[in-house]
Amino acid sequence: MKLAVLLFVTWCLVSPVHGGEPHVMNHENVLGTSLEIRVWCESASVATRAEEAVLAEIDRMARIVSTYDSTSEFSRWQSAGRFQELSPELTHLLRSCDQWRERTDGAFHPGVERVSKIWRAAEMAKSLPDQSELETAVRRLKEAPWRWNGAKVEPQPDYPVTFNAIAKGAIVDAASLVAMKVPGVDAVSVAVGGDLRCLGDRSHKISIPSPRPELTRGAIIEQFEINNQGVATSSGAYRGFTIEGKRYSHLIDPRNGQPVDHVLSATVVAPTTEQADVLATACSVLTVQQSLDLVASLDHVECLLVDRDGKRHFSPGWNGLSRSEPTSLLCGDDEKAEPWNGGFELKLDLEINQPDGGRRYKRPYVAVWVEDREGYPVKTLILWVQSTGKGPRWIPDLKRWYRSDRVRKESEETDLVELVSEATRKPGKYSTVWKGQDNRGKLVAPGEYTVYIESAREHGTYQLSRKKVTIGKEPFTEEFESNVEIKAAKFEYRLSTPAAKN
């Protein structure tokens, strides 16, 4: 149920308490999304040991609770179809599902996969689901997905289950705890997709970008601080089903089998990421008031909900976390901003080459930016880097961008990495939209520009591609040649239409 790779949540250190420099490590294709590990410690060797501990724990937990791996403990239990006593980790997850299914009145349900399959099949058939089929599936969801007999539990036959809205949070919690046990670690943050956990005596600033697809870059609706807590954000803005020209969210109400669209995004802060994970999904399904009532009934839990009209709704204690000025509308919504060249935008689609076999891999360092005809960098669109110790270690490997950034900082005296660096989304395809604003927020003038895509890999290759374009009143599409790091890249200069904003 969660968006991948911190699609809606980005984070950074804001108030260090003890010594130790931040070390940042990034991996792709981890639980179907991206992983970012931040460790505060005195040496790179300690950070490496913490990284290894996190990766090992993620693998261990996945071997237990994965609903996609046919060899996991969960899958083997499902196949056996009989009462068994399971591992403490899987037993805990099943009991948590039972508790939250009851606590949310069925808004959270591990069996909603049954309904999701019907909607996916309907999308393939290009027609809406059969209502009687949906009703049959919803009736089945009124049954418990498993039965208990003391410590033993038996799965229901022909009852597909996924842990999409709970397992990732549980795994993040477990991985964070093992990292904190590594000698020499002062603090740690582990983020898998949109779920993250921060541990240690440090505060962290969390930024929530706008859930509007056309504002995926730069528009922040809220910033807040956490310490020793978990965060998760859920939304249907980027995933769903398109049937007969209409888009439906992938988030489905298990109680009626229908996609929900009344909440654009739900962010929850809780004592654990597992709890935040569940509640973010439930708060996307329940009405806004039901969600606020539920969160208010729980200790040390807060939420921010953005409804379909862009209005923000806060739990009573949210102001104790927030660093933003309250507003009722989406901050940074550029529908009210001055249009670029009569309403144009530049959309970039980027696909990174991935190793064969679906293995986990360290992501390449990538920068995408625009320079004017004098070679001055007017806007950085994407920056994926890794840092180790004092400062961003690998930024100099992006040779052209690093040179340009130094030129830019001479005039702006601002660290661009701090402003635009963000984790990648799910492995494979990525996109961003540029509305024509430069690094200072001013619209660039019509004329000739060059778009650069630079990539580098630790102990690997270096690639630099560029395309000259004329920004004006005429639309165009340009494609970059592929290379060993970038499988495909295309940018389209187009009029911003309502269809592009759905």
DSSP per-residue letters across 179-202: HHTSTTEEEEEEEETTEEEEEES-
User: Same structural domain for residues 149 and 47?
Assistant: yes
User: Same structural domain for residues 460 and 349?
Assistant: yes
Percentage with pLDDT > 70 across the chain: 81
71-75, 166-170, 419-423, 480-484 — which is least confidently predicted? 419-423
Which of 329, 362, 380 terminates a domain? The answer is 329
pTM of the model: 0.80
User: Same structural domain for residues 270 and 342?
Assistant: no
Q: Which of 178 and 377 is assigned the larger pLDDT?
A: 178
User: Same structural domain for residues 302 and 449?
Assistant: no
In which domain, by residue range, is 322 found?
A: 1-329
CATH of the domain at 413: 2.60.40
pLDDT at 390 over 60: no
For the four alpha carbons of 17, 23, 29 and 31, in that order, the dihedral sign comes to negative
Q: Which of 325 and 107 is assigned the larger pLDDT?
A: 107
Q: Which of 354 and 180 is assigned the larger pLDDT?
A: 180
Look at residue 324 in the predicted model and tell me its pLDDT.
56
CATH of the domain at 204: 3.10.520.10
The answer to whether the beta carbons of residues 491 and 370 sit under 8 Å apart is no
pLDDT confidence tier of residue 86, bands split at 50, 70 and 90: very high
Domain count, the chain: 2
Q: Once rounded to an integer, what is the mean pLDDT over residues 231-251?
A: 85
Which of 298, 329, 360 terminates a domain? The answer is 329
Which of 281, 309, 329 terminates a domain? The answer is 329
DSSP per-residue letters across 425-483: -SSSEEEEEE-SB-TTSPBPPSEEEEEEEEEE-TTS-EEEEEEEEEESSS-EEEEEPP-
225-229, 328-332, 347-351, 461-465 — which is least confidently predicted? 328-332
pLDDT confidence tier of residue 219, bands split at 50, 70 and 90: low
User: Same structural domain for residues 134 and 191?
Assistant: yes
Q: Which of 414 and 502 is assigned the larger pLDDT?
A: 414
DSSP per-residue letters across 119-161: HHHHHHHTSPPPHHHHHHHHHHHTS-SEEEETTEEEEPTT---
User: Same structural domain for residues 354 and 284?
Assistant: no
pLDDT at 9 over 70: no
User: Same structural domain for residues 208 and 84?
Assistant: yes
Give the chain's mean pLDDT. 83
How far apart (Å, rounded) are the C-alpha atoms in residues 193 and 36? 9
Q: For residue range 264-289, list pLDDT tens digits in order.
A: 889 999 999 999 999 999 999 999 99
Q: Once rounded to an integer, what is the mean pLDDT over residues 341-352?
A: 88
User: Same structural domain for residues 168 and 215?
Assistant: yes
User: Same structural domain for residues 145 and 233?
Assistant: yes
User: Same structural domain for residues 303 and 422?
Assistant: no
Q: For residue range 149-206, list pLDDT tens digits in order.
A: 999 999 999 999 999 889 999 999 999 999 999 999 999 999 887 789 999 988 887 8
Look at residue 411 in the predicted model and tell me its pLDDT.
54
User: Same structural domain for residues 323 and 343?
Assistant: no
User: Same structural domain for residues 367 and 482?
Assistant: yes
